[in-house]
């Protein structure tokens, strides 16, 4: 019987395979568990270097894509095979007009050849570009000092800039081939990797500079300006939390489930918006009181396997915070472990970035703190200040190995609850409502630094997902994890979004003293105004002091550093939760309105 010649279902052509991105792409495609695989991989570049591992691709094709004849003669024999084109090549011949001409010609030549076969199977193209999409032709010798780029952080839906850009031309070329093929565009930051054939490799350039400095015996000086020296860059390689944890646990497909969920708080759940079905049973008790805790929790101590700790109380100074918050956790742990049939195996502990900054709300210490330089990493050492987060972690560690734990260090948390002193959106919503009610400007109550520089947030649903993930993931046991949405924002841009959401006139940052506002002092005497607003809009009967801890908001908006945490450890351990901060702010504001918490 004649042997059948089976054609691979997916065949990749990686153009630019000797560059950093191309080499990594080929290696990823040849990995046994690569998505969509197994792949047959053709690698292409102008020449094959001596260091290139032959096993990286099935076949290497050397040709110059600028030359249409060379492209056709080299690629036409495989045109009937290729299903996916990975385009990671680039040439910089001169100004942007020349860049457009050369780079679009190369892609055009390859596409024309691959699609010329009557049996062409080409279905998708991935296009490697970068953040020049948002900045304009920054390497053009005549235009580079006249550009007005978008304000970072960069988002994919930002409009094109009014300058020539070969990235735009490449995207347009691909779009012109729709719907006969699909495409995706990948806008990277500064790329790091291993290749001697890449004009983009920052590590190679810095390494060569360092080697020359060392060889000549001259200092390895930073060749940039103070702004880039001090500011962030990226590279390419509470109670509302308790509510979301309960919701996550009760989902039919929740990891480790099905779960029986007990909910606990000092007061009964608010009937106006707390869904009764969110927990199996609700227990009201004050964890500060050991006797009350024992009486309330001992009946279920033989059942509970996982404790999700997202409670906190703010006291007048950090010593009082330690006594109260450590005391509450101690009382609950003691009760749950006191049962001879105790099944408690894991505790998730909710803390935050105060871990890296020190007791920022302590009236005596807050002005004397020396915090870590951001971005914050979980392996940063503890600061030499009292901190109830440290005390709680130590308490949990003292119970090992009889139980495991995980620590979750969030940023500014956003979500929906009328009973959370840390909910930034509720505080801002109440502040905006008072401004609108009194017909006063909605002024930014922070500094120019926080107005202009980067910050991050934590969506309460993402945080809940991380708690549940850590509770059922072995390698996450006895580890601490930062938790943010994974993106950045500036308050300058956020204030425009909030002004629109809260239906108040946008007011830019005020340079003069009369344009500034101390939000703590402004809201201090607004209890009666808030009562009027609650009555006017039929809101849930709340008092400002119940949810409006404006001292915390003031501290956050007066940081003299960029409040940013790294999510690398979480991703390395397998947690990939994320959220679009601007979209989630909009979602939660609408949710708070639906719950009748803000007007």
CA dihedral 494, 246, 467, 542 (to 10 degrees): 40
* Residues paired with 405 in a beta bridge: 347
Task: Single out the catalytic residue among 30, 326, 354, 526.
Answer: 354
Count CB atoms within 10 A of the CB of residue 598.
26
**Residues forming beta bridges with residue 350, ordered by sequence position:** 408
C-alpha pair distances (Å), 355 with each of 32, 249, 317:
41, 27, 16
Here the tokens at position 97 are 């007009």
Q: Residue 148 in contact with residue 85, Cβ under 8 Å? A: no
- Counts of helices then strands in the chain (DSSP H, E): 22, 18
Catalytic residue among 163, 183, 389, 431: 389
Computed over its alpha carbons, how large is the radius of gyration of the chain?
29
132 catalytic per annotation: no
CA distance 343 to 203: 51
Residues 6 or more apart in contact with residue 401 via CB below 8 angstroms: none
Question: Can you read off the two tokens belonging to residue 589?
Answer: 């504001």
What length is written for the chain? 599
Spatial contact of 468 and 577, defined as CB atoms under 8 Å apart: no
Sign of torsion over alpha carbons 427, 432, 438, 443: positive
CA–CA dist 279, 37 (Å, integer): 43
Cis bond before residue 545 (omega within 30° of 0)? no
Question: Cα separation of 310 and 240, whole Å?
Answer: 9
Q: What is the DSSP code (8-state) at residue 11?
A: E
Distance CA 44, CA 82 (A): 13
Tell me the C-alpha distance between 164 and 529, whole Å. Answer: 54
Cβ neighbors of 511 (< 8 A, separation 6 or more) are none
Nearest to 425 by CA among 393, 473, 457, 461: 457
541 catalytic residue (yes or no): no
CA separation for the pair 428, 183 (Å, rounded): 41
Task: DSSP letter for 8, please.
Answer: P
Rounded Cα distance between 123 and 183, Å, is 8
Bridge partners, 129 (sequence order): 187
Let me know: does 371 contact 387? Beta carbons within 8 Å.
no
Cβ pair 485, 584 in contact under 8 A: yes
Contact 438, 546 (CB under 8 A): no
HEC profile for 55-112?
A: HHCCEEEECCCCCHHHHHHHHHHHCCCCCEEEECCCCCCCCHHHHHHHHHHHHHHHHH
Q: What CA–CA distance (Å, rounded) separates 304 from 291?
A: 19
Q: Where are the alpha helices (DSSP H) in 472-557?
A: 491-501, 519-524, 527-537, 544-547, 550-556
Catalytic residue annotation: 354, 389
């Amino acid at each position: 019987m004649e042997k059948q010649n089976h054609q691979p279902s997916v065949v990749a052509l990686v153009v630019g395979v000797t560059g950093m991105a191309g080499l990594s792409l080929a290696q990823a495609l040849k990995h046994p568990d690569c998505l969509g695989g197994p792949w047959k991989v053709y690698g292409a570049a102008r020449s094959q270097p001596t260091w290139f591992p032959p096993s990286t691709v099935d076949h290497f094709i050397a040709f110059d894509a600028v030359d249409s004849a060379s492209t056709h003669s080299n690629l036409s024999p495989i045109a009937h095979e290729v299903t996916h084109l990975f385009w990671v090549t680039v040439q910089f011949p001169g100004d942007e007009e020349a860049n457009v001409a050369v780079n679009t010609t190369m892609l055009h030549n390859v596409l024309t050849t691959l699609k010329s076969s009557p049996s062409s199977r080409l279905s998708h193209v991935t296009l490697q570009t970068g953040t020049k999409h948002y900045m304009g032709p920054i390497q053009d010798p005549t235009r580079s000092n006249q550009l007005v780029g978008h304000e970072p952080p960069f988002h994919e839906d930002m409009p094109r800039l009014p300058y020539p850009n070969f990235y735009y031309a490449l995207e347009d070329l691909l779009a012109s081939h729709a719907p006969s093929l699909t495409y995706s565009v990948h806008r990277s930051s500064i790329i790091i990797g291993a290749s001697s054939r890449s004009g983009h490799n920052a590590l190679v350039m810095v390494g060569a500079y360092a080697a020359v400095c060392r060889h000549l015996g001259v200092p390895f000086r930073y060749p940039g300006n103070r702004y880039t020296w001090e500011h962030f860059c990226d590279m390419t390689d509470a109670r509302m939390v308790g509510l979301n944890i309960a919701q996550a646990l009760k989902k039919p497909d929740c990891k480790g489930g099905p779960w029986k969920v007990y909910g606990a708080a000092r007061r009964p759940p608010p009937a106006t918006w707390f869904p009764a079905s969110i927990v199996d049973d609700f227990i009201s008790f004050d964890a500060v009181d050991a006797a009350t805790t024992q009486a309330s929790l001992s009946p279920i101590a033989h059942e509970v396997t996982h404790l999700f700790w997202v409670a906190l109380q703010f006291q007048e100074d950090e010593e009082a915070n330690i006594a109260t918050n450590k005391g509450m956790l101690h009382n609950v742990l003691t009760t749950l472990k006191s049962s001879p049939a105790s099944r408690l195996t894991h505790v998730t502990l909710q803390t935050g970035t105060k871990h890296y900054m020190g007791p920022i709300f302590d009236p005596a210490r807050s002005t004397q703190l020396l915090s870590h330089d951001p971005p914050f990493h979980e392996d940063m050492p503890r600061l030499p200040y009292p901190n109830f987060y440290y005390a709680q972690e130590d308490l949990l560690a003292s119970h090992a190995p009889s139980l495991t734990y995980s620590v979750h260090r969030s940023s500014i948390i956003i979500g929906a609850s009328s009973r959370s002193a840390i909910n930034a959106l509720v505080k801002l919503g109440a502040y905006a409502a008072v401004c609108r009610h009194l017909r006063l400007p909605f002024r930014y109550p922070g500094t120019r630094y926080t107005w202009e520089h980067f910050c991050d947030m934590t969506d309460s649903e993402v945080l809940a997902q991380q708690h549940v993930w850590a509770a059922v993931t072995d390698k996450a046991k006895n580890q601490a994890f930062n938790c943010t949405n994974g993106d950045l924002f500036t308050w300058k841009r956020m204030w425009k979004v909030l002004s629109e959401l809260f239906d108040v006139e946008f007011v830019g940052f005020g340079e003069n003293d009369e344009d500034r506002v101390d939000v703590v002092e402004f809201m201090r005497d607004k209890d009666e105004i808030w009562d009027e607003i609650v009555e006017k809009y039929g809101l849930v009967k709340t008092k400002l002091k119940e949810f409006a801890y404006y001292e915390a908001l003031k501290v956050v908006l007066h940081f003299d550093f960029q409040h940013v945490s790294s999510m690398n450890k979480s991703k390395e351990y397998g947690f990939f939760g994320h959220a679009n901060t601007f979209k989630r702010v909009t979602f939660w504001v609408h949710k708070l309105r639906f719950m009748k918490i803000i007007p």
